[in-house]
Structure 1
Amino acid sequence: MFGKLFSRSAPMVEAPRRKAPPMLARQRRSGRVRNFDAAQNDRLTSGWTNTPLPADQIIRRNWCTLVARSREQAANNPYGKAFQRSARRNIVGQQGLVLQARSKDGSSGTLDQGANRAIERAWKSWCKAQNCDVTGRRSFRQIQKELINGCVTDGEFMVRFVYGRDAGPWGFALQVLDPMRCPVDMDEEKRPGGGFIRAGIEYTKLGRPIAYYFTTLSPNEADYNYGGRGFVKVPADEIVHWFEADIVGQKRGLPWMATALWRMHQLGEFEKSALVAARDGANRQGFIEWEEGYGPELDEDDEEDGIEIESESGIYQSLPRGAKIKTDVSQYPNGEMAVFSKHMLRGVASGLGVAYNDLSNDLEGVNFSSIRHGMLAERDHWKELQESLIESFALPVYERWLTYALLGGRITLENGSPLPAAKRQKFMDVQFQPRRWEWIDPAKDVKADVEAMDNLIKSHGQVIRERGRDPQDVYGEIAADIKDMRAAGISEDIITAVMTGKLKGGQGNGQQGSSPKAGTPGEDGEDGDDAGD
């Protein structure tokens, strides 16, 4: 046994390796295993990037250039200006974000109408230009418009909360800041406590903003300062900073026009070239060539006086002997220009997220179904941005305003008593109603809403909110109309017929018919829906 334990064993023989299949062997020899065509590195993809960059490097390398070019296109390119106008019109609209207070009584759970009216009344007063803006020049709605304009060209907006004597009559106001004042190239890797600074913003070690750094907060600075180290530090809880993040870890916003900028610029240059060629072709009819032995004999110091030929309708001009005309016809604009421009604009519209017909103001070949489909998709995009604006801007502003307004006793009931600051959490229950749109065919849309309400698919309040109104305001207007009609001596039958849209000849159903005797909704039990059929 011991002999077996201490005896020298024979060396192990390595098992023979199996040869790779011929197909894999060829791929290994060639050094390439193709999985995706887009991952190939060849002469056709030599200029295509193959190294992913983190969001911070993308912002640092491209942000200033994209902002400068976006601002230039918004100023000089009609399509850039049209997109900026469209974004402002669809996100903000005529009234902007309208506050709807929804505070409820704790015992019954019903709406506290008195407190809600007081909050909405005080908010409306603060939204005036002399109260909400530190400069006293812009109302709250106009501030919203300016912020959306900035998002189109800058990709973000920054608003500072200002308190105290400099904030105006209410002691609280907003200061709109230029994002270019926050240096995108200001980085610091290690701060006390493990924090860091990236793109002019200081963060905790987990990425929560602590402070913002600006080159200046004063409006009298006319120029941008590059490379300086004197910064103004503002706590992050005094700044509203919003942008639509496209990349994980993104800390600054990219202009909304960034994807479409190259096409917009190239299309603009193409149109300029075509216009110059067209003007040159319209101004120059041709050249006069002389046969050999003819033409004026000029010395080196003589100046040639060109032959002037005046054109007149029905008259044929004769040329000097030996002279002939060689015409020069410009090729632009030709029939391909419209096709090329439309193709480019479709790419621009896709990059901007808007419908081509709206951006280009081109309704050629559009029918009801196609334009409705395009409008629905575009409006969903605007609604998404509206909700982001409410969550990131309107609600934080309302929270700060409510605190200072309650502490200052600025929100009062109709009897003059102020709302108690101890119930601040109750008064935080609010909604902001963004703008909504009318449909191309309102009659069909109204009919669909009526059927949805009859089948309990929609409520009256939902239908009203979809049209940008506050249900409480609509109900109050209806109640006031009924009260005024009763005060004027109108009978209850007519009031009922008017309110239910069953009075023939009226406007309840949008149809005209013969008016029956006053107080008679219809004959033989017919209602207004059958009038005029």
Structure 2
Amino acid sequence: MSRQTRDWPIMPQQINAILISQLRQLRARSRYLRMNDPYASSFAGMKTRNIVGHMGVTMQAKVKQQRGDKLNEKLNKELEQAWTTWCLPKYCSVKKDMGFAAMQQFLQAQTPTDGEFFVQRVVDKANPFGMSLRIVDPDQLDAGYNSQIPLPNGNIIVMGVELDPELAPVAYHFFKPNLFYGASQPRERIRVPASDVIHYFVPWFVNQIRGIPEMAPSAYRLNMVSGYEDAEAQAARLGATKAGFFYNEKGETEYTGEKDKLDQNSFIDEVEPGQFDILPTGWKMQTYDPQHPNAAYAVFMKTALRAVSAGFGVDYPTLANDLESVNLSSMRGGMMETRDGYRIGQQNFIQHFICRVFSWWLEAVDLKGAVTLGKVTRDVVEESIVWTPRRWGYIDPMKDVQADILANDNGLGTLTNSLAEKGMDFEETIDQIAYQQQYIKAKGVKLGADLKGDSAGNGVVEEDDGETASSGQQDGGNKSGAKGGS
């Protein structure tokens, strides 16, 4: 160990021991940054927009008939309609204040500041679907509530989470909600079984019990950058006022001229545009003109925010809204790397939150009789659901579309995968194309290449020509569909 590395820890510390003493401070500082720092707020918005999107994770039922490979259209339609209705605010939320898509957006925005979220299942007999959801503030699970001595049932409690001998969650000991609680006020705890709670977080270490705020690695640096930016703004504001000082070269402390009407209290402290005035004899003025922001301001901010972006796991140009020196190639590289991170977040979110909620919902509607499953088991239904998260548009549309066509034509890809990357479903797209072609044929309209092939050049459509064109379009659509399904 050298003098330069003396403050660098060399003794590993168990992650839960660190969180017991620091989790609440980390969460408080991260929440403060989100409310007061534009870059922290931007990061939370990026997570919401890119992992969940404006529609949330969408559901499509693909349950097959018990015999053969054909889809059970009746059951699938019933499931999709019931799920869509339940996602409305009046059924989904206990408070009836947000739908399921809005709830997903809200929860994703919490992970940068809290590192975790809690959602509780509430059985509601008055609800036509039998259940709704309650969001629980992570502050209601006391990180200081720990039991070193096992409970009578052999379980232990770590940061409010009751664990069995295998460290699997058994229950959560939440405080009762209190909007005006203070540090000195006693608070009552409620034990909620783990089967009724979704505790979502991405673990960083083995046996980690609570989530770490995603802002933690960059929070200190971001707070320092925020302070520096405020100081530069204050200095620039002072510089813009063109302040100054009066001084006397002879060292006199007051004006003593008998005939001059000016006295010590006559110094000019307010001016107007175009004003010229007279100072007392022997006194001069020294201006105060700080040059801020200085020349290194932009370079420093860019360097600091690049490090912050790396800690957040997002690309710098988007976080800082700085496209000044970005070209298409560099933007593509940064966005593709960031989107890979978003895809990981989407997969975790779907597996550990969306699927759990759907399992609860399916059990509730089955018992309530809101959906008729018949002989199909819940497990079969859950395994037959396709969840589609938000997808992104092309970065360079022409080149990206050409690459998709080339890959599909040479057997290196499928239309199904190309559409999935855009968040579109193959079957639904083909159905829409078929409907579109039938509607165009019925109206006798030519579009696209068919207009260019009209020898008259006037856009007038004859009946026979319209049928031929429609037939050609129909064949082209079928060929495309066959190729995509291969």
TM-score range, shorter chain: 0.7 to 0.9
Match status 1:184 vs 2:143: yes
Provide the rounded CA distance (Å) in 2 between the counterparts of 1:188 and 1:308.
67
Aligned to 1:482: 437
SS in 2 for 1:67: helix
TM-aligned CA deviation for residue 440 of structure 1: 2.3
SS in 2 for 1:503: helix
Larger Rg: 1
SS in 2 for 1:233: strand
Provide the rounded CA distance (Å) in 1 between the counterparts of 2:351 and 2:420.
18
Bigger drift between 464-473 and 343-352 goes to 464-473
Matches within 5 A, 1:221-300: 221-223=179-181, 228=186, 230-292=188-250, 296-297=255-256
Provide the rounded CA distance (Å) in 1 between the counterparts of 2:338 and 2:185.
41
Provide the rounded CA distance (Å) in 1 between the counterparts of 2:66 and 2:7.
66
Q: In structure 2, do the counterparts of structure 1 residues 472 and 118 end up closer, same or farther at CA, with 3 Å as the change threshold? A: farther
SS in 2 for 1:64: helix
Instruction: Kindly provide the amino acid, as one letter, of the partner of residue 246 in structure 2.
Output: I
Q: 1:466 aligns with which of 401, 421, 428?
A: 421
TM-aligned CA deviation for residue 73 of structure 1: 0.4
TM-aligned CA deviation for residue 249 of structure 1: 1.2
Matches within 5 A, 1:133-532: 133-165=93-125, 168-189=127-148, 190-216=150-176, 218=177, 221-223=179-181, 228=186, 230-292=188-250, 296-297=255-256, 304-308=265-269, 310=271, 312=273, 319-411=279-371, 418-420=372-374, 422-428=376-382, 429-489=384-444, 502-505=449-452, 518=461, 519=465
Mapped contact 2:59–2:388 kept (Cα < 8 A): yes
Provide the rounded CA distance (Å) in 2 between the counterparts of 1:266 and 1:43.
25
TM-aligned CA deviation for residue 312 of structure 1: 4.7
Provide the rounded CA distance (Å) in 1 between the counterparts of 2:378 and 2:276.
91
Gaps of 5+ in 2: 258-262, 477-486
Mapped contact 1:406–1:419 kept (Cα < 8 A): yes
Provide the rounded CA distance (Å) in 2 between the counterparts of 1:64 and 1:308.
49
Instruction: Kindly provide the amino acid, as one letter, of the partner of residue 53 in structure 2.
Output: G
Cα deviation digits, residues 138-194 of structure 1 (max 9, x gap): 00001101111111110000000111336x332211101001101111111212343
Aligned to 1:24: none
SS in 1 for 2:216: coil
Mapped contact 1:309–1:317 kept (Cα < 8 A): no
State, as a whole percentage, how many aligned pairs show the same letter.
33
Provide the rounded CA distance (Å) in 1 between the counterparts of 2:264 and 2:203.
66
Provide the rounded CA distance (Å) in 1 between the counterparts of 2:185 and 2:247.
62
Q: In structure 2, do the counterparts of structure 1 residues 480 and 309 end up closer, same or farther at CA, with 3 Å as the change threshold? A: closer
TM-aligned CA deviation for residue 320 of structure 1: 4.3
Q: In structure 2, do the counterparts of structure 1 residues 113 and 460 end up closer, same or farther at CA, with 3 Å as the change threshold? A: farther
Mapped contact 1:104–1:426 kept (Cα < 8 A): no
Matches within 5 A, 1:51-62: 51-62=11-22
Please, what TM-score do these two structures have when normalized by structure 1?
0.80
Bigger drift between 144-153 and 379-388 goes to 144-153
Mapped contact 1:74–1:81 kept (Cα < 8 A): yes
Aligned to 1:16: none
SS in 1 for 2:267: coil
Aligned to 2:52: 92
Instruction: Kindly provide the amino acid, as one letter, of the partner of residue 451 in structure 1.
Output: L
Cα deviation digits, residues 262-303 of structure 1 (max 9, x gap): 0111011111111111212222432222232875249xxx97
Gaps of 5+ in 1: 1-40, 412-417, 507-513, 529-533
Instruction: Kindly provide the amino acid, as one letter, of the partner of residue 187 in structure 1.
Output: N
Q: In structure 2, do the counterparts of structure 1 residues 449 and 158 end up closer, same or farther at CA, with 3 Å as the change threshold? A: same
Provide the rounded CA distance (Å) in 2 between the counterparts of 1:356 and 1:406.
48
Bigger drift between 334-343 and 315-324 goes to 315-324
Q: In structure 2, do the counterparts of structure 1 residues 150 and 293 end up closer, same or farther at CA, with 3 Å as the change threshold? A: closer
SS in 1 for 2:332: helix
Please, what TM-score do these two structures have when normalized by structure 2?
0.87
Instruction: Kindly provide the amino acid, as one letter, of the partner of residue 203 in structure 2.
Output: A
Aligned to 1:105: 65
Off by >6 Å, runs of 4+ in structure 1: 514-517
Tell me how large the CA RMSD over aligned residues is: 2.6
Mapped contact 1:74–1:80 kept (Cα < 8 A): yes
Provide the rounded CA distance (Å) in 2 between the counterparts of 1:198 and 1:332.
51
Q: In structure 2, do the counterparts of structure 1 residues 230 and 329 end up closer, same or farther at CA, with 3 Å as the change threshold? A: same
Provide the rounded CA distance (Å) in 1 between the counterparts of 2:375 and 2:264.
91
Higher helix proportion, which one?
A: 2
Provide the rounded CA distance (Å) in 2 between the counterparts of 1:107 and 1:385.
36
Aligned to 1:64: 24
TM-aligned CA deviation for residue 404 of structure 1: 1.6
SS in 1 for 2:450: coil
Instruction: Kindly provide the amino acid, as one letter, of the partner of residue 458 in structure 1.
Output: G
Cα deviation digits, residues 312-359 of structure 1 (max 9, x gap): 55x876644323222222132111111111111011100001111001
TM-aligned CA deviation for residue 106 of structure 1: 2.4
Mapped contact 2:44–2:110 kept (Cα < 8 A): no
Q: In structure 2, do the counterparts of structure 1 residues 210 and 380 end up closer, same or farther at CA, with 3 Å as the change threshold? A: same
Aligned to 1:131: 91
Instruction: Kindly provide the amino acid, as one letter, of the partner of residue 118 in structure 2.
Output: M
Provide the rounded CA distance (Å) in 2 between the counterparts of 1:236 and 1:293.
79
Provide the rounded CA distance (Å) in 2 between the counterparts of 1:478 and 1:140.
30
TM-aligned CA deviation for residue 229 of structure 1: 7.0
Q: In structure 2, do the counterparts of structure 1 residues 228 and 307 end up closer, same or farther at CA, with 3 Å as the change threshold? A: closer
